Amino acid sequence: MTIFQKIINREIPASIVHEDDLCLAFRDVNPQAPVHVLLIPKKPIVSLDHLTPDDATLCGHLLQMVPKVAALLGLEGGYRTVINTGVHGGQSVFHLHIHILGGRPLDWPPG
């Protein structure tokens, strides 16, 4: 079980900013920007590489929630989304998650 599943199950506390039947958004404990939130599906999916055709509706929901969560966080000037996939992609928790970062101008390239 991942740390994210433990947050979903309320076994570990988190600063939750949004929750619905399909997903949960909470503040990152190691923020890389003034605003750094993780949006995760409640369904345990390891990464983008593990999506199936049955996950299409869930993925659409997650993407539609990104601007709603960003608005809740006051990110009117823009924000960045990041999905790390696999070890070489920088993924450290193997539960699909979207980073939503903002609150300052973000440079490019990121890494």
Provide DSSP, 54-106.
Answer: GGHHHHHHHHHHHHHHHHHTT-TT-EEEE---SGGGT--SSS--EEEEESS--
Beta bridge partners of 98: 39
Active site residue 97: yes
**Helix or strand (DSSP H, E) at 81:** strand 79-82
Q: Which of 36, 61, 95, 97 is flagged as catalytic? A: 97
Two structure tokens written together for 85: 């996939």
Which residues does the annotation mark as catalytic?
97
